[in-house]
DNA sequence: TACGGTGAGTTTGAATTTCCTACTCACCGG
DNA sequence: CCGGTGAGTAGGAAATTCAAACTCACCGTA
């Protein structure tokens, strides 16, 4: 999934090169839920075992997961999210919200995340500076590196 | 990329089944930037033309993109994001922010998005109800459908 | 001590996708 | 007429994925 051909330096592409392969983000979902054992992951994600092993290695190497023994004799391991891995959780929340809104009719949500404020979590992406919700019309792309051309009027 | 084996109903998995294939989110990046023409996409993304054609068909079918003629005689088309497609832009912003933070050293960001408030956009995922930034410790998973087991103490 | 079971993978060969290059088709401009 | 552009399609080689079986280490129990 490395992108040797992508002519543009881009943090979206770089991030996807790490977590954009099939199953990778579902692995993150599971470890964030606390289901970090190999066979749990196989069952819950439905991925072939060999592919899962490959993904796990990659995520550990990238520093998104840590492989921790949870019992010596017999050695057993559990995958847990690192700080960096946890920082991708908002992406998962946002994807889930999008799917709930666009892929499901009405209130048949398979999972609700409860926030500490007591409400069901409805994630909103906001601007740290002003606090407003991020909307397409409010964004303007400012390329900082060569390789970018932005044709649209408002861009982002 | 359909997930016939995934034993869990999950909006994250469903959303990724739609936009999780290689290049799909980069296509969305480009169309959000206004670069919606086929050859632009090929150049900017670095995808093989046939794969790109497949992805575009899929995204149009899913209602994330619209294929609009921008000139008759010779017929030429441009892909533009629909409302639903634009609603995935926050996901892109969040992925970009993560990549900027974890995959790059210091200030070599390839792209800065300027928000209408005048500041460089730093996207933060917040809870719509209370406005607080979403943090892992504040989340609890409440499965609504069968097929879910959540082992972790705090989950999400 | 043998027997079946679990966790965590690895191996193997077939099925699927991707990749790359070339090709098409419609048109335009000189 | 000639070369060039936009938007794809075609063909075969290369890389990935898949499913099922296999390994290895260990545990509980009978």
Condensed to tens digits (0 to 9), the pLDDT of residues B48-80 reads: 999 999 999 999 999 999 999 988 778 889 999
Q: Determine the pLDDT at residue A30.
A: 97
Q: Determine the pLDDT at residue B4.
A: 38
pLDDT at residue A3 tops 60: no
Cβ(B136)–Cβ(B154) under 8 Å? yes
pLDDT at residue A80 tops 90: yes
Alpha-carbon Rg for chain B, nearest whole angstrom, is 19
Q: How far is CA B129 from the centre of its chain?
A: 24
Q: What percent of chain B lies above the pLDDT cut of 90?
A: 80
Distance CA B58, CA B39 (A): 18
Cis amide bond preceding B41, omega within 30 = no
| Contact across the interface for A92 and B6, Cβ inside 8 Å | no
Query: At A125, phi and psi to the nearest 5?
Result: -90, 120
Question: Which long-range contacts (C-beta less than 8 Å, at least 24 apart) are formed by A66-75?
Answer: none
Distance CA B109, CA B149 (A): 40
pLDDT band at A141 (very low <50, low <70, confident <90, very high): very high
pLDDT at residue B156 tops 50: no
Q: Report H helices in A34-79.
A: 38-45, 49-61
Q: What is the mean pLDDT of residues A23-44?
A: 97
**Please, what is the average pLDDT of chain A?**
92
More confident residue, A40 or B7: A40
pLDDT band at B145 (very low <50, low <70, confident <90, very high): confident
Q: Residues of A with CB below 8 A from B103's CB?
A: 11, 14-15, 18
Instruction: Kindly report which listed range (A3-7, A52-56, A100-104, B89-93) carries the lowest average pLDDT score.
Output: A3-7
Nearest to B103 among A11, A109, A154 (CB): A11
The DSSP result for A126-138, as a single string, is EETTT-PBP-GGG
Q: Determine the pLDDT at residue B2.
A: 34
pTM: 0.94
Cβ(B51)–Cβ(A139) under 8 Å? no
| Contact across the interface for B127 and A125, Cβ inside 8 Å | no
pLDDT at residue B123 tops 70: yes
Nucleotides of C under 7 A from a protein CB: 6-12, 18-22, 26-28
* DSSP annotation of A147: T
Q: What is the mean pLDDT of residues A54-68?
A: 98
Name the residue with tokens 């999210």.
A81
Residues 6+ apart with CB under 8 A from A100: A109, B11
Give the tens place of pLDDT for each residue, B131-143.
Answer: 999 999 999 999 9
**Please, what is the average pLDDT of chain B?**
92
Q: Determine the pLDDT at residue B154.
A: 54
- Answer whether any strand C atom is within 7 A of the Cβ of A78: yes
């Amino acid at each position: 999934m490395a992108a040797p051909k992508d002519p543009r330096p881009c943090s979206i592409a770089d991030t996807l090169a790490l977590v954009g392969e099939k199953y990778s983000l579902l692995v993150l979902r599971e470890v964030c839920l606390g289901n970090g054992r190999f066979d749990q992951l196989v069952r819950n994600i439905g991925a072939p075992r060999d592919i899962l092993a490959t993904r796990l290695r990659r995520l550990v190497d990238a520093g998104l997961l840590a492989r921790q023994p949870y019992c010596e004799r017999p050695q057993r391991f559990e995958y847990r999210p690192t700080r960096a891995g946890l920082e991708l959780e908002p992406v998962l929340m946002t994807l889930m919200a999008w799917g709930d809104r666009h892929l499901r009719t009405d209130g048949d949500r398979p999972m609700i995340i409860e926030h500490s404020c007591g409400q069901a979590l409805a994630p909103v992406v906001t601007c740290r500076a002003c606090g407003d919700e991020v909307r397409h019309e409010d964004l303007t792309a400012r390329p900082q590196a060569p390789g970018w051309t932005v044709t649209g009027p408002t861009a982002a």
